[in-house]
Amino acid sequence: MKKIATLGSGLSFLIGVPILLVVFRLTVSRALRLIVDSAQLRDSAQVIFGIAVLVLWFAWLWGATAVMIDVFRTWGNRRSLAITSISHRASLLFVVALWSVLFAQRATTASAEQVDTHLIEVKNSELEVVTSSFNPIPMALATSALLIAAIIGRVEYLKLRQLRGASTWQRVQPLSRRSQFALGNLMTRESLQNVKPVQLAILQLQARECSPKVAIVEPNGETRTLLESPQAAGPVLAYVPLGLTGGSVVLIALHRGSCLDIVADNIALAESASRHVIAAAQLLAVDGSCPANIVRDADSAIEPNAVTIRILQQSQSNERLELTEYGWMLFPTCTPLSVFGMSIEESTEIEELFEDVKQPLVSVVESTPYVINEWSICVRLLGPVGVQTKEGNDIQFEKSKALELLAWISTHRERPTRVAARTALWEMNVQDATFNNIVSDLRRGLSRSAKDNSEILLRTFSDNLSLLDTVITDADILERAVHQAHQEMNEEAADSLRQALIYVRDLPFAGTRYLWPDTEGITSRLVLTAITAAILLAEHCLERADIDGVFWATGQGLKVLRGHEELIALRMRAFAARGDFAGIESEWSSYERTVRRDRHFGGSISPILREVHQGLIA
């Protein structure tokens, strides 16, 4: 029996560990690639995990060798010491390896959307597993789809506000690496969550004559009112998501003078929930403003014109979110829920992201753009992404990722490596076979467009993805024209600008869900390039009394950024040069409507543009 036990444990270790590692796709090559990629991204957690996987493989290799040696020794040596030594050593390694793969790995990749948890309590040296339907620990920011969407919306608002006031020869400062990762993670999470039905449901709740105080919104957008608002409550400042119950979002309406107590014996848990409530109140406010205060004293006065969040260990308030022995409970509706939270690290990360985005524009340091020689293929980025030959024929690919990969390579000529491309295009590690299929599809599609079927995406024995110089982007053409106009603005330069602006069709990368152009600042750079080209051409046309040319050039610029202040001012000056004061008023009214309707304007009229308007009609 001892021999059989020895062989059983040895074979289990010998066969079971590699099977488990392969099943979880934790091969040696994958671990090495994970370490390299994560080191470039400075993701220490993933680097450590990759090293741990390599250590586990090394332990298996060492253990497997020992098992094979001990198996032969066991059959040849009848001493109990030889028999038992393998059992202890191999079994221990097998248990450790099994725990590392099944439990440690699952704990790091478990979905943040899972609400049910298992609390392990140690009692009398025995493990008791207690299942709880609602987690007492507030969930991470990644679970709060509404707040994530609001954070991304705020980032877009801050970006567009800067771009609308930008002049020629300015650029947006790049985000820090930490902010790039934070924004990329948020955008990835948003792409996985369908928050639109909930957002529409909130708009419908706000439009009611008597908005509910507490409501539940199903994932499909259906709402249930749990508590009506008092008649004297006044207008709703914001509907704030408190947590999830049965997969549905629990909302509470905050009014001026509202007071919500967050009660827990562990103050740290209450503070985590309060940080989420405050952030959601400020970012989801109906009119963009929701003054809120946090107090930690039950005797503190409640401000009548603000929302007050009290963090307490005990409270008998009618409106409170309390951690009871059964989990979190919202009173007075007695609604059990798993609450959203926000850690101090998450809060700091978001604040740094906002500060990074608000950095002032800086003057452009003139640099030589990408050299354009004779080209045959143009990657269209200034609008919906596509590929065309010089004759205007579209090039199609079987896989949508092939088009995105081409767009990435064409905007990263300085270092188009496979590692960087995989990191940018996929949120998680992609299999080698999948990536190679994408590259092959891209190579075939480009080769079909060549007259001699020659390869345009070159085969290399390195990590580089090299394109021939015959492949350019419409952004290259535009940047070249702007560079020429910067050197000397003459009729030839104006004609180059005019030909380049023809390529502008919409916001860069319109209609795509690519994450890397925004996180790397490429979208903002292309927007400013198009705006600069439009302003240069419009000013040139205005000097020569070419009013139609002014309207065409500014119209092309407004395709990438509605409501740009300098473009609107040029259009009003063109109407004034023509003596068309009705046209000035029409342009101004159109601008005002855009400001009121577009949430990214924040409802604020540009004081500089107002001054231009008043000066022209005077």
pLDDT at 123: 32
Shared-domain flag, residues 64 and 197: no
What is the residue-averaged pLDDT of the chain?
82
Among residues 357, 375, 400, the one where a domain terminates is 357
Shared-domain flag, residues 88 and 158: no
Shared-domain flag, residues 309 and 225: yes
372-376, 420-424, 538-542, range with the lowest pLDDT: 372-376
Under the banding of pLDDT at 50, 70 and 90, the label for residue 31 is confident
Residue with tokens 């500060």: 355
Greatest Cα pair distance in the chain: 110
pLDDT at 577: 93
- Are the C-beta atoms of residues 304 and 234 closer than 8 Å to each other? no
Shared-domain flag, residues 42 and 170: no
Residue 438 lies in a domain: no
pLDDT digits (tens, 9 = 90+) for 196-255: 999 999 999 988 888 899 999 999 999 999 999 887 778 889 999 999 998 899 999 998
Beta carbons within 8 Å of 141's beta carbon, 6+ residues apart = 147, 148, 276, 340, 341, 342, 343, 346, 350
Instruction: Give the range of the structural domain holding residue 19, as residue numbers without chain letter.
Output: 2-109
Shared-domain flag, residues 192 and 265: yes
Residue 379 lies in a domain: no
Question: Three-class SS of residue 114?
Answer: coil
pLDDT at 455: 79
Question: Three-class SS of residue 60?
Answer: helix
Residue with the larger pLDDT of the pair 419 and 503: 503
- Are the C-beta atoms of residues 20 and 97 closer than 8 Å to each other? yes
pLDDT(110) > 80: no
Question: Three-class SS of residue 263?
Answer: strand
Shared-domain flag, residues 49 and 148: no
- Are the C-beta atoms of residues 493 and 502 closer than 8 Å to each other? no
pLDDT digits (tens, 9 = 90+) for 330-378: 999 999 999 999 999 999 999 999 999 998 888 766 566 666 778 899 9
Shared-domain flag, residues 249 and 100: no
Please tell me the distance from the alpha carbon of residue 205 to that of residue 198, in angstroms, as a whole number: 11
Residue 433 lies in a domain: no
pLDDT(278) > 60: yes
Count of C-beta atoms within a 10 Å radius of residue 410: 21
pLDDT at 234: 81
Residue 128 lies in a domain: no
CA atoms within 13 A on the CB side of 151: 31
Residue 553 lies in a domain: yes
Token duo for residue 203: 């708009």
Among residues 109, 131, 166, the one where a domain terminates is 109
Shared-domain flag, residues 169 and 77: no
Tell me if the pTM is above 0.75: no
- Element (DSSP H or E) covering residue 307: strand 307-312
Residue 70 lies in a domain: yes
Once rounded to an integer, what is the mean pLDDT over residues 525-546?
Answer: 94
pLDDT(481) > 60: yes
pLDDT at 11: 65
Shared-domain flag, residues 75 and 174: no
pLDDT(480) > 80: yes
pLDDT at 53: 82
107-116, 184-193, 284-293, range with the lowest pLDDT: 107-116
What DSSP string describes 167-211? Answer: -TTEEPPPPPHHHHHHHHHHHHHHHHS--HHHHHHHHHHHHSSS-
Please tell me the distance from the alpha carbon of residue 336 to that of residue 566, in angstroms, as a whole number: 53
pLDDT at 542: 95
Cα separation values, 75 from 10, 63, 78, Å:
13, 18, 7
pLDDT at 37: 58
Q: Percentage of the chain with pLDDT > 90?
A: 42
Once rounded to an integer, what is the mean pLDDT over residues 381-409?
Answer: 93
pLDDT digits (tens, 9 = 90+) for 607-617: 888 999 999 88
Under the banding of pLDDT at 50, 70 and 90, the label for residue 21 is confident
- Are the C-beta atoms of residues 524 and 556 closer than 8 Å to each other? no
Residue 455 lies in a domain: no
The distance of Cα 180 from the centroid of its chain, to the nearest Å, equals: 9
Q: Percentage of the chain with pLDDT > 70?
A: 82
Nearest to 84 by CA among 169, 190, 178, 1: 1
Report the b/e string of 446-474 with b at 16+ CB within 10 A: beebeeeeeebbeeeeeeebebeebbbbb
Once rounded to an integer, what is the mean pLDDT over residues 260-275?
Answer: 93
Shared-domain flag, residues 105 and 184: no
39-43, 300-304, 385-389, 481-485, range with the lowest pLDDT: 39-43
Shared-domain flag, residues 311 and 205: yes
Please tell me the distance from the alpha carbon of residue 357 to that of residue 232, in angstroms, as a whole number: 40
Beta carbons within 8 Å of 88's beta carbon, 6+ residues apart = none
6-15, 320-329, 447-456, 507-516, range with the lowest pLDDT: 6-15
Please tell me the distance from the alpha carbon of residue 421 to that of residue 516, in angstroms, as a whole number: 10
pLDDT(35) > 50: yes
Q: How many domains does the chain have?
A: 3
pLDDT at 193: 86
Q: At what angle do helices 344-357 and 267-283 cross, to 10 degrees?
A: 30
Shared-domain flag, residues 43 and 165: no
Once rounded to an integer, what is the mean pLDDT over residues 56-74?
Answer: 73
Residue 452 lies in a domain: no
Among residues 306, 326, 357, the one where a domain terminates is 357
